[in-house]
Amino acid sequence: MMKTKVLETIKRFEMISQGETVVVGVSGGADSVSLLHILCSIREDMKISVVAAHLNHMLRGEQADSDERFVKGLCGLYKVRCFSEKADCAALAKKAGEGIEECARRLRYDFFDRVARANNASHTATAHNANDNFETLLLNITRGSSLKGIGAIPPKRGNIIRPLIECSREEIEQYCRSNNLNFVLDSTNSCNIYSRNKVRNKVIPILTSINPNAVYAASRLCRLAREDEELLTKMSEALFEKARIREGEFDLVKLREAEKPIRARLFSAVIEKMTDKSPGNEHTINAVENVLSGKGKTQLQKNLFAELKEDRLVFSRGDKAEKLGEIQPESAEFCITTDLFRIKSTRYNGKINDLLMKNLIDYDTICGKLTLRGRKQGDKITLPKRNVTKTLKKLFNEERIDEKIRDLIPVLADEHGVVWVFGIGTDLKNAANEKSTNVIRVEGENIC
């Protein structure tokens, strides 16, 4: 019985205690309706108060307004206080430069948090289920996620609880039928323009045809990954205490004695603490590892540096660097953020044309390792269209680049010299052509 499973989940993960107030995110779909129904059915026994929160994202016109009215009516039926709000998600996403899904999630959780604080609620319950968890796992795998990402959706994170996380969508819909619960359908769920919908509607049916219990198997994998991640995190916290000398400074010997996965979690935690931002990708962590192996000082993020000082690894905030340090990407595809610029490399399989050519590199022409660095004395480049060789010093003069940032302009180089320069293009010897079969596209943007 699904209700029993939900109660066991609540107990096992210590989600709700007697006497608490719980906010329930209610969209009106089968998941949130069944969650609201179950929590209302136990509120007297557990002496809890239930409050509902519904955010109208204004993405589906009248259908979204109809969903809002449905939720308000449902809450009236269950004698639950309902807080609702409208947010023009499309306009706000455009203004913030976010994707609509990303923006909707941020607005939703901000709203839940405000409702929780206004009602002194201990927790906010969302209706994520085992299928949602499976979808998140698959999406994270396609992004090359770390072990933490393989953990997908945790049953509990901070004040957010997910009592349905071990229930499949099939179980939830059966629960609604058995209890005569009405719910609304989101028409966008069948639209495969969103990545999650493609996974839900196309990928998961294929996987469940191979293993009918794939949803539960995925839940088991995620649980095991979370357990492993929790252990590794505890080990990194122990290393932090052991190796820490003072704020941002760590004993070099003790760090080198530790395993790389443990160090990586320590570095990530330090960077996040100092910048309020996750490192984002493995390149930042690899940059710290390069410093640890004796390669001087490097810039990790805007105004954050890592360097060796005698027997210590030091993380420090500072003003903009006077010169761009050396960073070696781990592969042909990378995204590296410096103090002023973001450089991204991706595989390119399209046609070679004049408009793109200056940013296309024939990767088979790279000698040795590719390095992102600042300019060096004597650096020169041959531009394909002009077929003339010039020093970067002369080119920067011609382009009237501010002298203060010339040593911060990103340069990609290999053992033979300059390969590509931000704002200038690719050297003739490395330029892709119609015969190239291993091409990368390098793009740069100014982030200041």
Same domain, 310 and 348: no
Asked whether residue 408 is domain-assigned, the answer is yes
Distances (CA, A) of 341 to 173, 290, 425: 49, 20, 15
pLDDT in tens, 193-251: 778 899 999 999 999 999 999 999 999 999 999 999 999 999 999 999 999 999 899 99
Q: Is the pLDDT of residue 356 over 70?
A: no
Largest alpha-carbon pair distance within the chain?
Answer: 82
Specify the number of domains making up the chain.
3
Mean pLDDT, all residues of the chain = 90
Using one digit for the tens of pLDDT, what is the confidence trace for 423-444?
899 999 999 988 999 999 999 8
Give counts: helices (H), strands (E), the chain.
16, 21
- End of a domain among 317, 346, 378? 317
Rg (CA), the chain: 27
pTM of full prediction above 0.75:
no
354 and 290 belong to one structural domain: no
Domain, as residue range, for 265: 247-317
3 shares its domain with 141 = yes
Say yes or no: 339 and 290 in one domain: no
CATH number of the domain within which 366 lies: 3.50.40.10
- 53 with 176, same domain: the answer is yes
State whether 287 and 387 are in the same domain.
no
Same domain for 295 and 355? no
Side-chain-facing half-sphere of 2: CA atoms under 13 Å? 25
Instruction: Say which CATH number the domain at 133 has.
Output: 3.40.50.620
Q: Does any domain span residue 261?
A: yes
| Contact by Cβ (8 Å): 285, 272 | no
Q: Are residues 341 and 311 in the same domain?
A: no
Alpha helix stretches (DSSP H) within 244-391: 252-257, 260-275, 282-292, 354-357
49-56 and 21-25 strand pairing: parallel
Same-domain pairing of 297 and 373: no
- Edge-first strand order for the sheet with 371-373 is 371-373, 411-414, 417-421, 425-426
- Is 115 found in the same domain as 40? yes
β-sheet bridge partners, residue 157: 160
Q: Do 25 and 139 fall within a single domain? A: yes
Which amino acid, 64? A
Residue 62: its pLDDT value, please?
92
**What sections of 124-281 are H helices per DSSP?**
130-142, 147-150, 169-178, 195-198, 204-210, 214-243, 252-257, 260-275
Q: Residue 322 pLDDT > 90, yes or no?
A: no
